[in-house]
Structure 1
């Protein structure tokens, strides 16, 4: 049984400034290595640099805190009093620092237990990121009292190749299912959710897991789906040479991706689609310079041809994340409500601007 005695709450830091409250964004502070209050491209994580020009609204070559917050947004409310965090659970039992998960449980559920679960898988090109990053994504959803949350880590390509990251995600889900009764979680109602590499892994779980391990759905924000096609689909201004030996995809399969076609196909969700797969929500910006938009477009086409269920949100002018249109996140919530609670209607496929008024 998991002890909840050591539960920690997520912290939102507030500092007074000019008579108002200014949110101190921990990511901005961590990236701002010289502490000058602004970011240059070299300080931004590599997998996010494709969005630098769009975030730098005044085109001065720097991103200040105001520009950063305009993209990532402010927290709607302080949720630390509403959510219990159980951090860094070693789900594999081997002490590996990457094979850990954190649980987010509402202190006051607003629906009968057991609660459905949203499992977040972090991005980072399978070579970066951390499971703790997912707490920010899940916090407001869990604070409604309608969902439990888990954010899971996996080994990265500095030490493993495919299928190890996928198998780690499966093992984390196995741990959750084993302890679901103790945690008040309904193991039959699980949706996987991820961005970029995390979206890829969420989609892979959706199309591969069957029987009692079958998911209730998956949410894929701009994840790769067909590794062998990525370079051919890349726009002329793309930022990654996907067929190069040092690309994220090549590192995932242990060498130049085109020289490892069988392993690349085994790591491509598009290869495993069938009509029995759970519903997917796929979201992708049509100006993504890291993961080609056609990765999602073709994935959705194959799902529909197979008779599967998929909602596709094409984000006009959207890059590799940084979307600010609230309708996108309303669709995410509607999808979760429909798939996990049977409430309302699922969102419909649409083309949406990346920001309000776009």
Structure 2
């Protein structure tokens, strides 16, 4: 199947019936699968180290957040059984280079054991629509959750978002565009807004115009035709400058933005560490609470170790349970 003989597989090289396996094997959600990832996915036992919920959960699956919308405009909500009142919610946004990935196999369900409702969303991929469709979908999903807060026992004023890679990019955008009404779109629930109160960004891109400026050898040329960024923007970043700037969380940073927790590996071969460093610096300069944790020797995730999960839990507790 490796038609271009580059030692790795991309989604378009995989037969349709095997694509679910591709999603499982692509552990770091960079849009390619290596031989090592295939071997790891074939091993018996859990495919990842994340700890899931230990309590009974009521699941609301494949809920349309845009009535009559695209098949990707759906979300899942996980509500701990017996939970009462209004509770904080953390929304997971998957990665996959904006061109693949799924809300299924949500890796943050361990939060259900700690007083949180959890949601996981799909959004239109770059093969369906170019940016800002993905941001509009994420905001529509947040507005839907706020409008249905009573049904899911959610406090609409205590919403956290967590995403990795392309999902990290989208949660960073949600965090910095809460006071930018023109970024809301007009999908689904049109009242309210998609503002959130806490952002956990795992190695998300922040500036497409500087993605190729790194000392770490990358698997990808980001400013090239056919790159994930070019597919998202509808053209290579340096030739679609307005689109590239509109897709950058840096463009919208203001003092009103919510606190950020950022994780990034210093050996990430897909999204350079500098992408998170510039976000941290710009947030700090603006007075937004932010912490960047650099994972020594870390590649492109996935970083779902018990220690990191505990630290993320403490972050959400500090922000969302203090209200």
Relative to 1, partners in 2 of residues 1:74 and 1:209: Cα closer, same or farther, differing over 3 Å? Answer: closer
Please state whether the residue corresponding to 1:103 is helix, strand or coil: strand
Relative to 1, partners in 2 of residues 1:44 and 1:183: Cα closer, same or farther, differing over 3 Å? Answer: closer
CA deviations 1:131-180 (Å, max 9, x no partner) are: 2232xx23221133x01111111111112111010001111111111111
Aligned counterpart for 1:327 among listed residues 299, 304, 307: 307
For CA contacts below 8 A with separation 6 or more, give which structure has more relative contact order.
Answer: 2
Asked if 1:232 is matched to 2:213, the reply is: yes
Aligned runs of 1:64-103 on 2, under 5 Å? Answer: 65=42, 69=46, 72-73=48-49, 75=51, 79=54, 82-103=56-77
Total equivalences in the alignment? 294
C-alpha RMSD of matched pairs (Å): 2.8
2:90 and 2:119 in contact (8 A); partners too:
yes
Asked if 1:245 is matched to 2:245, the reply is: no
Aligned runs of 1:59-208 on 2, under 5 Å? Answer: 62-63=39-40, 65=42, 69=46, 72-73=48-49, 75=51, 79=54, 82-109=56-83, 113-134=85-106, 137-144=107-114, 146-208=115-177
CA deviations 1:260-308 (Å, max 9, x no partner) are: 0111010000121122110000100110001111100111011111111
Relative to 1, partners in 2 of residues 1:325 and 1:131: Cα closer, same or farther, differing over 3 Å? Answer: closer
2:94 and 2:167 in contact (8 A); partners too:
yes
Gaps of 5+ in 2: 1-17, 181-191
TM-score computed with the length of structure 1 as normaliser: 0.75
CA deviations 1:35-88 (Å, max 9, x no partner) are: xxxx9xxx64794487958x67xxxx943655985x8226466x3x51111000
1:50 and 1:239 in contact (8 A); partners too:
no
2:29 and 2:165 in contact (8 A); partners too:
no
TM-score computed with the length of structure 2 as normaliser: 0.83
Relative to 1, partners in 2 of residues 1:32 and 1:101: Cα closer, same or farther, differing over 3 Å? Answer: closer
Relative to 1, partners in 2 of residues 1:100 and 1:218: Cα closer, same or farther, differing over 3 Å? Answer: same
CA deviations 1:167-206 (Å, max 9, x no partner) are: 0111111111111122221000000110111111101000
Please state whether the residue corresponding to 2:151 is helix, strand or coil: helix
Taking the aligned partners of 2:108 and 2:26, their CA distance within structure 1 comes to 23
Please state whether the residue corresponding to 1:240 is helix, strand or coil: coil
1:51 and 1:322 in contact (8 A); partners too:
no
